[in-house]
Amino acid sequence: MIVGERKEVDEIRDMLPEDIEELLIVGCGTCVTVSLAGGEREAKSLRDLLELYFSQNGESLDIAADAIKRQCDDEFIDEIEEQIEKSDAVLSLACGIGVQHLAIRFPEKLILPGLNTTFYGRTSATGEWEEMCHGCGECVLDRFAGICPIARCSKSLLNGPCGGSEDGNCEVDDEIDCGWELIYERAKELEVFDRLLEHEEPKDWTTYRDGGVRSHKNPEFFRSGGE
């Protein structure tokens, strides 16, 4: 899932225009709901927090809060179109994709980010998430025992560890597991260690950000006559 964390109230206040009268906070019901950062509950909680903040600072602002299933699809945005049109600004609690999609859909409306989008991750424990994927566009999990060296190794090394790890921990931060230690142990368990002895060619980073802004069209959809 895409993991996010809420911005501090002071930072949010600094984003808002001085003459704003009506603010709409919009939560997103998918990834950021699971990461406890941007769902309906968090949208209403932030509304209450901002109302208290403004009250304590002698300011007045009409704040509404709502949530939709996804902010990256127009069909769900339709549900709150009227609310958005009535507001002076929208504070989106979606990932950066949702924020930008709202900005494209409502080009004359001020759309602001309420979250910092952090990474693609898994739930490792209640209230905790770990980065698992960089979305590099060329998945190599089959060659590394199901553990991604791009995301799990702090240096994204493809041909073994750097030599700086200690007791299974990364030299960048001893709170981080060495990605290659994880790959090695998993490969031993699956008895596929020989795969790690094969030399990996330099990664083609054009499938990642080095190739510019990415897009994708599903060929099956268009072959079947989709529009």
Question: Confidence band (pLDDT; 50, 70, 90) for 209?
Answer: confident
Task: Examine the pLDDT at 166 and tell me if it is beyond 70.
Answer: yes
The runs of H, that is alpha helices, within the chain are 9-15, 31-34, 40-56, 74-77, 81-86, 96-105, 149-152, 179-190, 219-223
3 state SS of 57: coil
Interval 5-25 mean pLDDT: 96
Task: Examine the pLDDT at 62 and tell me if it is beyond 80.
Answer: yes
Question: Confidence band (pLDDT; 50, 70, 90) for 226?
Answer: low
Spell out the domain ranges in the chain: 2-119, 134-206
- Residues β-bridged to residue 117: 4
Residue 157, both tokens: 């090394």
The Cα–Cα gap between 39 and 2 comes to 13
Pick the CATH number of 2-119 from 3.40.50, 1.20.120, 2.60.40, 1.10.150: 3.40.50
Q: How far, in Å, are 104, 133, 144 from residue 121 at the CA level?
A: 27, 7, 18
Interval 57-71 mean pLDDT: 95
Interval 40-48 mean pLDDT: 97
For the chain, what percent of residues have pLDDT higher than 90? 88
Closest Cα to residue 46, out of 31, 66, 74? Answer: 66
Position 215 scores a pLDDT of 86
Position 219 scores a pLDDT of 86
Contact 93, 87 (CB under 8 A): no
Position 218 scores a pLDDT of 84
